[in-house]
Structure 1
Amino acid sequence: MAVVIAVAASAAVVTGATASGKSPEGPVHASVTGSAEFRLPYVNDADIRSFAFDAHAAPYSRPVPGVSTGLPTDAYGTVAVSHYSAEQDITYTAEGKVDCLVTAPGNATLTAVITEVSAGGPDWVGKRLGFSVHDGGGDKPGKMSRDRVGFSWADGVNTTYTDEGDVASPVGPCMAPAAFSPVSKGAYRVRHADLPLWPTG
């Protein structure tokens, strides 16, 4: 009986640490990892599009004008974009540095400032792009993924219409549309953590 009680007590301690969102090493921070190909639900083509994320929350680590503490959504990491154009038979790639991440259970929104684009690719260097991820969970070999992604530059998604036509709207930190594109190969993992309190003192 004593052994059973001891085991139960140990389990309670572990469960309590998990429920509080903390580990012996410190608080758990949000993250988005993984790579996957996806399809656009409104386009029927042979293009291959993929995103790879290695994004990690780092609250209050990026001071900005007027907010010397930084923000609870501060983050670091990388984003890689790849788009194979079947029509042109060429693959365009881009890489960026993550600057913002916010999550909810199974979902995330992040942004990255693009640092590198392959030859012939879009004029993205220095621009912030937005991404959203839905982690559907339960991915198993041979079964279709339930994950989804969204992105800010999709045609008709991030656009402002004027009398002269339509123009791309700027993307602010952590701005992205809902994850509207189903993943066709690969998977993403969203690790959720609530945003921490503002620092005091």
Structure 2
Amino acid sequence: MSFRAGRRTLAALAALAAGLTLSSTTSAASASGHQEVARPAGASVTGKAEFLLPYHQDDDVRSFAFDARADPYTRPLPGIPTGLPTDARGTVTVSHYSAENDITYTAEGRVDCLVTGVRTATLTAVITEVSPGGPPVLGKRLGFSVYDGGEGKGRSKDRVGFSWNGVNLLPTGDDNPPEDAPVGTCMAPAPYAPVTKGGYTVRHAELPPPPSSSAR
């Protein structure tokens, strides 16, 4: 074989190899029906912090710990088989040290909803465990809000809010005292309580569109 013929043969083999590679890639993409696209990072709220009640000064120590992550369209509801873009998973831990009783009460819940904005979030959790002597919230949904303010002058600028202690009351319309109103998914007041120790990280992500019918 001459040198020129050898070059023609190598060129033909290279073209054939390129054609086979293109053909196999196209076939694989056609067989799957679509190309895999990396999913963007979802929203989340993580961290643990103690906070003060601005309207009630005492020696108690209150803290929330959050490990909440968006899990859109994973909780089907009657009439909404796809679930909601705010569906979420994770845990919430509530801790309250009573100085008067010298005891710490705790409650834990499973996150069912999370929605975020820039540096802000609201989430809800259904309480699954309550320590002895704790409040009667087992099985109830509680709401939380978070402001991720970062650090400033050696202390956190974060804030939290929550759906009890007088911020979610339902007037009875008579002489009876108001009752705590039920909490809907992702419902919580603005984060009004300043963090004094620890802090939270809010990772914001836009709510995604519903899944296509072919992906269900």
TM-score of the pair, normalised by structure 2: 0.79
1:137-152 alignment runs, 5 A limit: 137=150, 139=151, 143-152=154-163
More strand by share: 1
Q: Does 1:45 align with 2:58?
A: yes
Paired residue type of 1:57: A
Q: Does 1:182 align with 2:184?
A: no
Q: Does 1:158 align with 2:171?
A: no
Identical residues among aligned pairs (%) = 67
Runs (4+) of structure 1 exceeding 4 A deviation are none
Report the equivalent of 2:116: 103
1:39-118 alignment runs, 5 A limit: 39-118=52-131
1:36: Cα distance to partner? 0.2
More helix by share: 2
Instruction: Tell me how far apart the structure 2 counterparts of residues 110 and 135 of structure 1 sit (CA, whole Å).
Output: 14
Unaligned segments of structure 1, at least 5 residues: 1-23
1:200: Cα distance to partner? 2.8
Instruction: Tell me how far apart the structure 1 counterparts of residues 96 and 143 of structure 2 sit (CA, whole Å).
Output: 16
SS of alignment partner, residue 116 of structure 2: strand
Paired residue type of 1:147: D
1:28: Cα distance to partner? 1.5
Paired residue type of 1:157: V
SS of alignment partner, residue 156 of structure 2: coil
Instruction: Tell me how far apart the structure 1 counterparts of residues 189 and 115 of structure 2 sit (CA, whole Å).
Output: 13
1:25: Cα distance to partner? 4.2
Deviations 1:76-132, CA, capped at 9 Å, x for gaps: 000000000111111100000000000000000000000000000011111000000
Instruction: Tell me how far apart the structure 1 counterparts of residues 49 and 177 of structure 2 sit (CA, whole Å).
Output: 34
Instruction: Tell me how far apart the structure 2 counterparts of residues 176 and 189 of structure 1 sit (CA, whole Å).
Output: 18
Report the equivalent of 2:212: 200
What do you get for the CA RMSD once the two structures are aligned? 1.2
Instruction: Tell me how far apart the structure 1 counterparts of residues 81 and 131 of structure 2 sit (CA, whole Å).
Output: 35
Report the equivalent of 2:149: 136
SS of alignment partner, residue 154 of structure 2: coil
Instruction: Tell me how far apart the structure 1 counterparts of residues 40 and 84 of structure 2 sit (CA, whole Å).
Output: 17
1:199: Cα distance to partner? 2.2
